[in-house]
Amino acid sequence: MLSLDPPHPVLRRNKEQFLHFNQGAPLTDYSFVVCDTELTGLNKRKDEIISIGAVRIVNLQIELDQTFHRYIRPVHINPNEATLIHRITPEELKRADSAAEVLPDFIEFCDNSLIVGHFVGLDMSFLNKAARQLLGGTLSNPGIDTMRLARRYKDSGKIDHYGHHDHASSYTLDALTKEFGLPLFKPHDALEDALQTAYLFLYLVKKIRDGGIHSLKELYRAGRIRG
């Protein structure tokens, strides 16, 4: 399907929310949606999103009653691949809603929040690809990448390290979680990965410069994704 004209109403509202976006307020004034997507593969042309997990952070606290977790029925189901990495069964995928149904709900859930993710550029490119195809536009929410934040944090040398420098070069969510000693979630479930990322985000925001990041601008400089 080619792009719709005009874009889906949910995207128009989404865009309006960020027309006069103020970057100067304290971090506690913003809400963040930490999200993770599960994909059938990493090929941007042919692979698809099969689940989205997300959790909201308000006042720099994770709000566990504001989570989003949906499976998406892919256009091309390859049951073997999906069950291999994810805990989703092919049956579940077959019963799931289509991207056209899930995506607007997700965009509504994101509301006026900033989107946070680990290597969030990848998630955003799949989300935007689907949004362009199905809703005729892309999301306007600014994104923040916890991987970049982590790099920034480690470069600043402010790590409470125990001699783990030797394998500090890995920036996967798993490796960082272990390195910083964060509580552990089950991997490869979009919601739990989103939570894991949310923990990492809270940790980094409060540890970088000994909690010295106060405004969004400062955070942005540390963890902005490059377009």
Partner 1 sequence: MAADVHSLAPEVVVDFFAKIMPFTELDHETLHRMARHVKVDFFPKGTQLLHAGETEISHLFFIQQGGVKSFIIDDEGEVTLKDYRGEGDYIGALAIIRGTKANLEVETVEDTFCFLLPKAVFLDLINSQPGFSQYYLKSFSEKFVNTAYVELRRHKMTRRGDENLYLFSMQVGDIVKKPLRKLSVDSTIQQAAQQMATHRVASLLIHQPEAADEIIGIVTDRDLRSKVLAPGLAYTEPVRQIMSSPLATVLSQSTCFDALLKMMSCSIHHLAVERRRKIVGVITSHDITLIQGISPYSLFKEVGKQQKIAGLYPLSKKIPEMIRNLIKEGAKSGNISRMISILNDHILERLLTLLEEEMGPPPLPYCWLIMGSEGRREQTFKTDQDNAIIYADPKNEQQGREAEAYFARLARKAIDHLVECGYPLCPGEIMAVNPKWCQPLSVWKGYFADWVSSPDPQELLHATIFFDFRAGFGKVSFADELRQYLMELTERQELYLLHLANQCLSGRTPLSFFRNFIVEKNGEHKNKLDIKQQGITPFVNFARILALRHGVRETNTLARLHVLAKENILDESLWVKAVDAYEMQMQLRIIHQLNQIEAGAEPDNYIAPDELSELEKRMLRDAFEVIDRLHSVLKTMFPTP
Write out the residues near partner 1 by the rule CB under 8 A: 55, 60-65, 67-71, 92, 95-97, 160, 162, 180-183, 185-186, 191-192, 195, 198-199, 202-203, 206-207, 210-211
Largest CA distance in the chain: 56
Q: How far is the CB of 115 from partner 1 (least distance, A)?
A: 17
Looking at the Cβ atoms of 183 and 227, the one nearer to partner 1 is 183
Q: Sign of the CA dihedral 211, 218, 138, 187?
A: negative
Nearest Cα to 173, choosing from 139, 138, 149, 205?
149
Looking at the Cβ atoms of 27 and 191, the one nearer to partner 1 is 191
Angle of CA points 169, 152, 35, to nearest 5°: 90
Q: How far is the CB of 196 from partner 1 (least distance, A)?
A: 9
Q: Which residues pair with 72 in a beta bridge?
A: 97
Q: Please report, in angstroms and rounded to a whole number, the separation of the first and last CA atoms in the chain.
A: 25
Q: How far is the CB of 159 from partner 1 (least distance, A)?
A: 11
Q: How far is the CB of 29 from partner 1 (least distance, A)?
A: 17
Looking at the Cβ atoms of 162 and 227, the one nearer to partner 1 is 162
- The two three-digit tokens of residue 219, written as one number: 């955070």
